[in-house]
Amino acid sequence: MSKVHVFNAGPCLLPQVAIDNTIEALKDFSGTGVSLISISHRTKEWDAVMDETRALWKELLHIPDTHEVVFLGGGASLQFLYVAMNFLEKKAAYLDTGVWAHKALVEAQGIGEAYAIACSKDKNYTYVPKGFEIPKDIDYLHITTNNTIYGTEIHEDLDCPVPFIADMSSDIMSRPVDVSKYDLIYGGAQKNVGPAGVIFAIIRKDALGRVSRHIPTMLDYRTHIDKLSMFNTPPVFAIFVMKETLKWLKGLGGVEAMYKINKQKADLLYGEIDRNSLFVGTAAKEDRSLMNVCFVMAPGKEDLQDAFMAFAKERGMVGIKGHRSVGGFRASLYNACPLEDVQALVDCMQEFEKLNK
């Protein structure tokens, strides 16, 4: 089979070593003679996996003792409800920067008063709003740090005078984060740190228990902190792969080293988009995502879109079609995407330009 270059927006490309180690665990988990997907989660061998996975999260993101890490099922979309159930008492503000940010807002509105403090829908979510004021009388401010569909990203940790919550599904572990600034960071693993099937939540422990409503047991973060993410059967396969992925990341030098690599990959591809006469980027340059690079054919070249898609496919490019709601192209450069694959896409774009000048 010829070489393929994977740019899927999710589930993400995973490190080969994580895949290989998982294959071995599927055959025999930790010398037990039992497959990983048949193991009881009430064993010392599985306890060791959970302990190591939590420890890797805390080490790689320098998570302070004020916070705890839990692993749950249901996807980040279910976390939209968790957030409102656990933190919304009177009213909350959301930064509406894309489809998923808006869905999180709508879910909160089903629980209580929630509104958009700022919104970039006026320009099809191609920028991140700035200069907005954060009211002091809200229960929390919620942001979505990376916009996978439109290719924008909030690159720095905001200074927030109220409890601060972030969906970091698609850029977690891709850059350093000051966890101490957040009351909750959550997201799905399948963009950067593992396969689909598990979410992570990094929770400031003393931020919980402040709402007056009854919270159903399964929707109460305290349940999962108290039971070490095993109140019910955890998604063992997904957590194991997450552990192996984080071990790979640590071996590279951690999040700080990964950030430098991600900058290099993004700079290479954005540089070609800006240089190439056939393509144009869609996101505001100061807000361009390091994880999801979105671009379209240049004005007057739109009729070449299908031809480029076919040309790229012939050269092994996988997953570069833009989201169905916006069209064009999207290359997702998550952590495990190697620089060599980005260079291959750049070479493909340059070759296509030469053939169509």
Amino acid letter, 100: W
pLDDT confidence of residue 324: 82
- Residue 306 is among the residues annotated as catalytic for this protein: no
**57 catalytically annotated:** no
| Predicted local confidence at residue 326, as pLDDT | 83
CATH 3.90.1150.10-classified regions of the chain: 254-355
Exactly one of 46, 96, 171, 191 is catalytic; name it.
191
Residue with tokens 């996978």: 148
What per-residue confidence (pLDDT) applies to 129? 97
Q: Does domain 254-355 have CATH number 3.90.1150.10?
A: yes
Residue ranges of the chain whose pLDDT lies below 50: none
Of the candidates 139, 167, 220, 341, the residue annotated as catalytic is 167
Q: Would you put residue 12 in left (φ > 0), alpha (ψ -120 to 50) or beta? A: beta
Q: Kindly give the residue spans of alpha helices, DSSP state H, lying in the chain.
A: 16-27, 44-60, 75-87, 99-109, 221-226, 236-252, 254-275, 305-314, 339-355
Q: What are phi and psi of 137, to 5 degrees?
A: -100, 20
Query: What pTM does this model have?
Result: 0.97
CATH (one of 3.40.640.10, 3.30.470.30, 2.60.40.10, 3.30.70.920) for 16-252: 3.40.640.10
pLDDT in tens, 288-321: 999 999 999 999 999 999 999 999 999 999 999 9
pLDDT at 244: 98
167 has catalytic annotation: yes
| From 100, 243, 321, 341, active-site residue | 100
Q: CATH 3.40.640.10: which residues of the chain?
A: 16-252
Task: Give the number of C-alpha atoms closer than 13 A to the C-alpha of residue 130, restricted to the C-beta side.
Answer: 10
SS3 content of the chain, % helix, strand, coil (to 5): 40, 15, 40
